[in-house]
Structure 1
Amino acid sequence: MSLHISDAVIWHENGDGISIYHVDSGEFLSFNGSAAQIWVLLDSDGERAPVIDKLALMYAAGNATLARRIRAEVDEFIDAMLAQGLIAEGAPA
């Protein structure tokens, strides 16, 4: 499934992470740490699997248990972003 940052989102990467403004809701959010990494990777890769694979390569070092945990946490983050309308499925408009 292809994913992209919602057209209703304005975001900026800064030294502390990611600042996000959702135009439709007026909500401001800040992501740092792993959430910011997932966001940036999602923006560049557009799919779950490459994001999970890159993070697992960086942090799991071949540990299957840790790789499963990374997968679960990335899936949870992406599902939450979809539910909030911050990311969308399919090709960008």
Structure 2
Amino acid sequence: MTLQISEAVVWQETADGVSLYHTETGDFRTLNETGSRIWMLVASDGEREPVVSKLSGEFAGGNTGMLRRILVDVHEFIGSMIENGLIEERLS
């Protein structure tokens, strides 16, 4: 499955994080540091596993508990973004 930022979303990286505006719903939000990092990885990598892998390398080291937490958090974040129409998931 490939992840893609919705064409209805205008976004930019700011000093406060990533700011998103959904042009169809009027939803505006600024992501925190973690959400911004995940968003940027989705924008550049387009798949869940590379996002999880890169975050795990940056933050978990060899800590398996942290690896599991990162996996859960990434999937929850992406699921929420898909549910809100900000990210789309398509068959590769």
Shorter chain as denominator, the TM-score bin is over 0.9
**4+ residue stretches of structure 1 with deviation over 3 A?**
none
The aligned runs of 1:21-32 (5 Å cut-off) are 21-32=21-32
Task: Provide the C-alpha distance between the structure 2 equivalents of 1:32 and 1:13, rounded to a whole number of angstroms.
Answer: 11
Structure 1 gaps, min length 5: none
Task: Provide the C-alpha distance between the structure 2 equivalents of 1:12 and 1:69, rounded to a whole number of angstroms.
Answer: 27
Q: CA RMSD in A?
A: 1.0
TM-score by length of 1: 0.95
Task: Provide the C-alpha distance between the structure 2 equivalents of 1:30 and 1:80, rounded to a whole number of angstroms.
Answer: 14
May I ask how many residue pairs the two structures share in their alignment? 91
Deviation string, structure 1 residues 55-82 (Cα, Å, up to 9, x no partner): 0000001111100100000000000000
TM-score by length of 2: 0.95
Give 1:73's aligned residue.
73
Structure 2 gaps, min length 5: none
Task: Provide the C-alpha distance between the structure 2 equivalents of 1:42 and 1:14, rounded to a whole number of angstroms.
Answer: 17
State the Cα distance separating 1:89 from its structure 2 match: 1.3
